[in-house]
Structure 1
Amino acid sequence: MNLDDALHDGMSMDGAVGIALVDYSSGMILGKRGGNSLIDMEVAGAVLTRVVRAKVEAIETLQLDDAIEDILITLGSQYHIMMPLDDGRRGSILESGRNTLFLYLVLDRERANLAMARHLLRRIEQSVQV
């Protein structure tokens, strides 16, 4: 499945507002779908690179032998899920040669099902491995 098809698949979920593939080493959006007048996916994706970087740095500082599966931010009316692409290796994905891409999904909280969203993101993640 190509990236455009994968992002289209993400927008098919009930409650999906927008989805993007973001490179958090640069903040660059590699592909996106959706968004609305309340959320600019370009700006949100770039800003949320700081959240992913901060969590990776926290894992490194605490010397945890682990990696991020996903990060959930719950707002009054939305869910924001950031899911780094798994490169098949444990440890920090900021280390040299590691994947620095993450999927970013925005959901309408009243219509979305978080369990289904995480499941769909995992499926999309597998289809866009680079």
Structure 2
Amino acid sequence: MANLEISMKETMTAIEGAVGVAVVDYTSGMALGTLGGGKDLDLNVAAAGNTDVIRAKVRTMEHLGLKGEIEDILITLASQYHLIRLLKGRGGSGLFIYLVLDRGRSNLAMARHQLKRIEAELEV
């Protein structure tokens, strides 16, 4: 099992095109940890904003009577992919990984695969 810091470092190095990563508590909107980002990508602001995305999707699923759990949410921009992966398992309830990828340098399918593996090893 890997701790938060190790998992974020692995995300940034193992996933080609990774620009920034955060682990976020979507009950509060607070980032438990961030790595990467930059002047054009404030991961703390993005963490809070994406909390609203998750809450809206959960409400919509409830209104529609949809069963099952959200695995991930993808937001596609002209130059980036924003991947939100809800954590499962012990200690992961109420948390998500937020990953920003450079669209020109990343492989979305591989990034999703790697992120799932990193999630499985993450100990929060």
TM-score w.r.t. the length of structure 1 is: 0.88
Alignment of 1:1-130 (within 5 A): 1-12=2-13, 13-87=15-89, 99-130=93-124
How many angstroms does 1:30 deviate by? 0.4
- 1-structure distance, mates of 2:60, 2:119: 23
**Conserved? CA contact 1:11–1:19, under 8 Å:** yes
Superposed CA RMSD in Å reads 1.4
Unaligned runs of 5+ in 1: 89-97
**Conserved? CA contact 2:3–2:123, under 8 Å:** no
**SS of the residue aligned with 1:124?**
helix
- 1-structure distance, mates of 2:61, 2:89: 17
**Conserved? CA contact 2:4–2:123, under 8 Å:** no
What is the total number of aligned residue pairs between the two structures? 121
- 2-structure distance, mates of 1:63, 1:125: 27
**Conserved? CA contact 2:8–2:21, under 8 Å:** yes
State the 4+ residue runs in structure 1 displaced beyond 6 angstroms: none
**Conserved? CA contact 1:59–1:67, under 8 Å:** no
**Conserved? CA contact 1:59–1:66, under 8 Å:** no
Identity within the alignment, %: 54
Unaligned runs of 5+ in 2: none
- 2-structure distance, mates of 1:64, 1:129: 29
